[in-house]
């Protein structure tokens, strides 16, 4: 089948399209850089999934699944906090979140929640239409869709309150 990394790369084309719809601007150079980063990210997703399966024990019970989820939520939010606050070109989804944040005057974390929940709803619709099921969307997916943005907001408040360096 098609790998998770490959699907991720394809979805980034869609995210650039949504950016253009919101901003009404297409910067070819910026889009090309975003896509180049997305291709690298897709590769690293597949490589990471392979390595994680070799190193970490399979989550055989609910407690381990929740532990993995909670650790992942914080790692994702911490990575995003550093990565989105430096002057690097963002991947298409992260730039779309940035566009939503600026265009609709909300924090990056709230824009992340809007984007993540929208993605889950879109995936649910596609799953029902083409598979007749939820696919691999479970409670962890829904928790992640809401939690990453909340954790991002919390981390950004801590960074501002204590004047912490981002990197």
Q: What tens digit of pLDDT does each residue of 33-44 get?
A: 999 999 999 999
The reported pTM is 0.91
How many domains is the chain built from?
A: 1
C-alpha dist (Å) from residue 12 to 64, 93, 167: 31, 6, 26
Collapsing DSSP to helix, strand or coil, 148 comes out as helix
Residue 167 included in any domain: no
pLDDT score for 86: 83
* In-domain check, residue 158: yes
pLDDT at 1: 85
DSSP, res 136: T
Which residues span the domain enclosing 133?
Answer: 4-162
In a domain? residue 68 = yes
The predicted structure's pLDDT at residue 167: 58
pLDDT at 12: 98
Strand, coil or helix: what is 164? coil
pLDDT of residue 135: 84
pLDDT < 50: residue spans in the chain: none
Residue 58, pLDDT score:
87
């Amino acid at each position: 089948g098609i790998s998770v990394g490959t699907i991720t790369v394809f979805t980034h084309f869609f995210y650039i399209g949504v950016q253009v719809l919101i901003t009404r601007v297409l910067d070819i150079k910026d889009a090309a850089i975003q896509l180049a980063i997305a291709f690298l990210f897709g590769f690293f997703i597949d490589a990471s999934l392979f390595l994680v399966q070799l190193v970490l024990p399979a989550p055989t019970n609910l407690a381990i699944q929740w532990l993995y989820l909670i650790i992942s939520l914080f790692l994702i939010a911490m990575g995003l906090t550093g990565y989105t606050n430096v002057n690097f070109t963002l991947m298409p989804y992260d730039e779309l979140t940035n566009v939503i944040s600026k265009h609709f005057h909300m924090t990056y974390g709230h824009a992340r929640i809007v984007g993540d929940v929208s993605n889950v709803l879109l995936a649910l619709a596609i799953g029902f239409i083409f598979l007749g099921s939820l696919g691999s969307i479970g409670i962890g997916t829904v928790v992640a869709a809401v939690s990453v943005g909340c954790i991002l907001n919390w981390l950004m408040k801590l960074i501002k309150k204590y004047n912490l360096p981002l990197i």
